[in-house]
Structure 1
């Protein structure tokens, strides 16, 4: 039986090749490779190879905070992809999710933990509604979801900005600080990471990862969604409601991205921000989904990797390395993942052992000597 590399192994090879590419560019540019290793180690565990005594977990906390929304958008893109859809609209879903969660935080006074839960649910519902639009248009009118999602990204950004600036006490660039009852901030998590912005959004991400795995792999509903993505005609012939599945798929994907917006606004910043350009959480989610091979654990690890690269950028800049080097590493990893079939082909060629068959010559022609049991040809 012919052995093939699993998608996870291909992703690991791609990550390694991306890091090697970054090291090569560092050396060519005249920088020490230790700059990359030190920045990576400081972001992960708070110290460097050069100075083990200078222990600071703040960078570790910030690396996790940076990873949380990227993991959620990665899950969003992957969920849609595994059910036959391409959710390129996670960026807009993030922004409307953030806007909805801030609106509930400021306008709807609720007690204690209930307030924070209501805000998170509002963010997920807003993202689901934003995902419903391309899902409905695709199922009902066969309109390509990619085009609709791209347009909704811009609509979501400008619509959210308009709403946020209209809230009481808002300035031209941000809203007021949300009430403590609506915040996902944690004094405990912040204290153990030297006053980083690590927050309870980590629990939301953990639940989302479990829900992604459970729905797609352990439920008949998830099987129905995946079957629709594999072959819509066959699924419809089998009695599955494919049009409904397309809508549900995009709604769940949108809800995951909306959760990312809620985590950003309620946990990282504790206020609504009026932004003039995309922050690329949704587009990073596309890369994370592919690098993670659309597997729940793979997406989590890929999201942590991209979060680490985000934290490494200022650390490398402090050592005099241009931020473009960090961007090259990220782009290199995505490039090698996109070249996965080429990687498989190269590995299969270099790993194949060529066997020279026994041959005999007769009448000027080379005839392969058939090997049969007992060494005698019948």
Structure 2
């Protein structure tokens, strides 16, 4: 009986993201109809446009790669009870620092240069997030406010470094050398020269390591315990301050890893930013849709990658503005954020079934 209840609970938890996606697409369809567009043609153009070509499949997976890292970063802090809005700034810090290191030491052997460049990106992203962690741990400062401020600080510092330190043209840096590239020849050939790179396989490894860390280690247990009840955790002998800082450090490190992979794998350089990178805020949405579960985050990242790349097919093939894909994504996020509405009806339905089954059992 206990096993059946756990199975039902697991199925109900899958209903929330599943219904959020369905409702998001329905909302987008209603909006398209209201403006005179055919949603069936639009969605067909979006989906078939991606899956009809190995190149666009590769691009969707490439986009999903960075989102996996930033989504895991947000999820880790969320598990600890914090809302790390600074994922975008931490990813940007990892991006610029990885490129900077790769440009500074272009003659290092490839395996060393790639490893160190990514490592620098992770470290800088982690240290940047730790500022909010320290302020929260010792001064009770809201991590939401601090990370929002740090986002724009990172943006302005990055643009300053590009214009006055890293670049001669003023707008973009040189491309990193082949020794710092994450591209893989056979993978590029397989996906018809898409920018899918080594980072995709690294994302799979990190998803596994994240699950092991959060479920099989003492540090992961303490982070989850502090998130559930910091007072009980302190009473049990856990250091709330240490776990606050550690969770923000690791969260920023994952975001910095996403930024480093995005820079070295997708672009090979960095350019002045008109705003914060989308991989930051979309990573938050991915984590929420995936219910902070690493497997859920990975598949949510793929969904968002398909939506992002597929949006480009909507104007030409269906005459629908590509912004409509953003509306669908936003609607999905809305329904995930308002998951208590979905949970209310799901729980109500489950309670009715259990009550009916109990009544039948009593009659017998």
- TM-score surpassing 0.5? yes
Change (3 A) 1:342 1:225: same
- Which of the numbers 271, 274, 289 marks the counterpart of 2:272? 274
| 8 Å CA contact 1:65, 1:268 repeated in 2 | yes
Shift in Å at residue 186 of structure 1? Answer: 2.1
Report the equivalent of 1:326. 325
> Within 2, Cα distance between the matches of 1:108 and 1:92?
25
Change (3 A) 1:81 1:349: closer
Shift in Å at residue 236 of structure 1? Answer: 1.2
Q: Decide which moves more: 12-21 or 146-155.
A: 12-21
Structure 2 residue ranges without an equivalent (≥5): none
| 8 Å CA contact 2:133, 2:249 repeated in 1 | yes
| 8 Å CA contact 1:63, 1:308 repeated in 2 | yes
- Which of the numbers 133, 137, 145 marks the counterpart of 1:135? 133
Change (3 A) 1:349 1:169: closer
Q: Decide which moves more: 277-286 or 300-309.
A: 277-286
Report the equivalent of 1:365. none
> Within 1, Cα distance between the matches of 2:228 and 2:13?
18
- Which of the numbers 144, 154, 159 marks the counterpart of 2:142? 144
Q: How does 1:57-206 map to 2 (within 5 A)?
A: 57-109=54-106, 110-167=108-165, 169-206=167-204
| 8 Å CA contact 1:80, 1:87 repeated in 2 | yes
Shift in Å at residue 373 of structure 1? Answer: 8.3
| 8 Å CA contact 1:8, 1:292 repeated in 2 | no
| 8 Å CA contact 2:291, 2:297 repeated in 1 | yes
| 8 Å CA contact 2:45, 2:310 repeated in 1 | no
- The answer to whether residue 230 in structure 2 is matched with residue 232 in structure 1 is yes
Report the equivalent of 1:53. none
> Within 1, Cα distance between the matches of 2:362 and 2:58?
65
Q: CA RMSD in A?
A: 2.2
- The answer to whether residue 5 in structure 2 is matched with residue 7 in structure 1 is no
| 8 Å CA contact 1:42, 1:60 repeated in 2 | no
> Within 2, Cα distance between the matches of 1:294 and 1:347?
20
Structure 1 residue ranges without an equivalent (≥5): 47-55, 359-370
Larger radius of gyration: 1
Q: Which has the higher contact order (CA 8 A, sep 6+)?
A: 2
| 8 Å CA contact 1:183, 1:267 repeated in 2 | yes
Q: How does 1:201-212 map to 2 (within 5 A)?
A: 201-212=199-210
> Within 1, Cα distance between the matches of 2:164 and 2:113?
21
- Which of the numbers 261, 264, 273 marks the counterpart of 2:262? 264
Shift in Å at residue 28 of structure 1? Answer: 3.4
Shift in Å at residue 37 of structure 1? Answer: 2.1
- Which of the numbers 33, 41, 56 marks the counterpart of 2:48? 41
Deviation digits for residues 201-242 of structure 1 (CA, Å, limit 9, x no counterpart): 112211221121111111111001111111112111111122
Q: How does 1:207-222 map to 2 (within 5 A)?
A: 207-222=205-220
Change (3 A) 1:348 1:131: closer
Q: TM-score, normalising length from structure 2?
A: 0.90
Deviation digits for residues 34-55 of structure 1 (CA, Å, limit 9, x no counterpart): 3312321331x22xxxxxxxxx
Between Structure 1 and Structure 2, the one with more helix by share is 2
Aligned to 1:293, what secondary structure does the other structure show? coil
Q: TM-score, normalising length from structure 1?
A: 0.87
Q: Decide which moves more: 247-256 or 187-196.
A: 187-196
Aligned to 1:134, what secondary structure does the other structure show? helix
Shift in Å at residue 276 of structure 1? Answer: 2.2
